[in-house]
Amino acid sequence: MITPPRTPHRWDPDRYLTYADERGRPFLDLIARVAATAPRTVVDLGCGPGNLTALLHERWPDADVHGLDSSAEMVERARGRDDGVRYDVGDLRAWRPEAPVDVLVSNATLQWLPEHLELLPQLLDQVADGGWLAFQVPGNFEEPSHTIRRDLAEQEPYVAHTRGVAVPASHDPATYLDLLAGLGCEVDAWETTYLHVLTGPDPVFTWVSGTGARPTLQALPDGLRERFEEEFKARLRTAYPERPHGVVLPFRRVFVVARKAGAVR
């Protein structure tokens, strides 16, 4: 959920949580590969509304669990959970803990930072020897859910408003593995394509309007935004037709779990 400062859009926790179960499954698959047994400090960079960060506290109840997000709206929602986690507003690029942490997690966040590959060594520096860095990023940016939005945003009369808005991007698992292995980590990197079966009116639009398409939609003025949305929905309905069991959204995700060299905790 961390976004570059040039993007003025605001996150909507309610819209984001519409498909909370589907969005949460990759997080569970990610942390299942983190073999830390008794970490003292666990940090979630890009914690969003806190529903997933709370699972870190449940898994490691004796740890000090901290969630950080650049969205004040998301952090406000997270703080309302009263789940034993400390939540703060902040930019992960400037984040520096008082001491290296034992487990550092980032779920569906780094894709918003174009420079995140160059940022990974800095993040690893904040992890204790023997600690864990685990992150997951979407890898579906050439799917219709993204290409339709991108192509439409480049057309008149939208392009004057959408030029330069934040768009997510990521790399293949091998790219992350090579980088972190080169820094001395033991790395587990993989990808999974989930087939989400969605229901309701224009469910793919509902999904993307809460995440990847949100900066584009918020960049458009009233009136023009509604026009864009209707055309976007129509094209998505063609790309993702209704089936007897619902609308199927294939979603590729990239996972990385790296253990830093040193004593294991």
Domain count of the chain? 1
The answer to whether residue 86 is domain-embedded is yes
- For residue 264, being part of any structural domain is answered with no
- Ramachandran region, residue 50 (left: φ > 0; alpha: ψ -120 to 50; beta: rest): left
Q: Which residues contact 208 (CB under 8 A, 6 or more apart)?
A: 145, 146, 149, 236
Instruction: Name the helix (H) or strand (E) containing 160.
Output: helix 159-162
Give the CA distances from residue 82 to residues 49, 53, 56, 67, 78, in Å, rounded to whole numbers and listed in that order: 12, 12, 14, 13, 8
Assess if residue 1 is contained within a domain: no
Dist. CA 253–CA 173, nearest whole Å: 9
The pLDDT value recorded for residue 8 is 47
pLDDT score recorded for residue 5 = 37
- Residue 41: domain span: 13-259
Residue 155 token pair: 């057309």
Domain assignment of residue 204, yes or no:
yes
CA-CA-CA-CA torsion sign (222, 227, 233, 235): negative
pLDDT tens digits for the chain (265 residues)?
A: 433 333 445 545 444 445 667 888 999 999 999 999 999 999 999 999 999 999 999 999 999 999 999 999 989 999 998 888 999 999 999 999 999 999 999 999 999 999 999 999 999 999 999 999 999 999 999 999 999 999 999 999 999 999 999 889 999 999 999 999 999 999 999 999 999 999 999 999 999 998 888 899 999 999 999 999 999 999 999 999 999 999 999 999 999 999 999 765 4
Helix (H, G, I), strand (E, B) or coil at 47: coil
Place of tokens 């993989």: 190
- Sheet strands (E) in the chain: 41-45, 64-69, 86-89, 101-107, 127-138, 186-198, 247-259
- The answer to whether residue 265 sits within a structural domain is no
Residue 6 domain-assigned (yes or no): no
Closest CA to 3 of 80, 89, 88, 102: 89
Looking at residue 21, what is its pLDDT? 78
CATH number of residue 199's parent domain:
3.40.50.150
Q: Are the beta carbons of 122 and 95 closer than 8 angstroms?
A: no
Tell if the pTM clears 0.85, that is, is over it. Answer: yes
- Helix 116-125 to helix 173-182 angle (10° resolution) is 40
Q: Is residue 145 part of a domain?
A: yes
pLDDT of residue 216: 94
Q: How far apart are CA 215 and CA 10, in angstroms?
A: 8
Domain annotation covers residue 34: yes
Gyration radius of the chain's alpha carbons: 19
CA dist 227 and 248 (Å) reads: 25
pLDDT score recorded for residue 265:
47
Question: In which residue are the tokens 């569906």 written?
Answer: 108
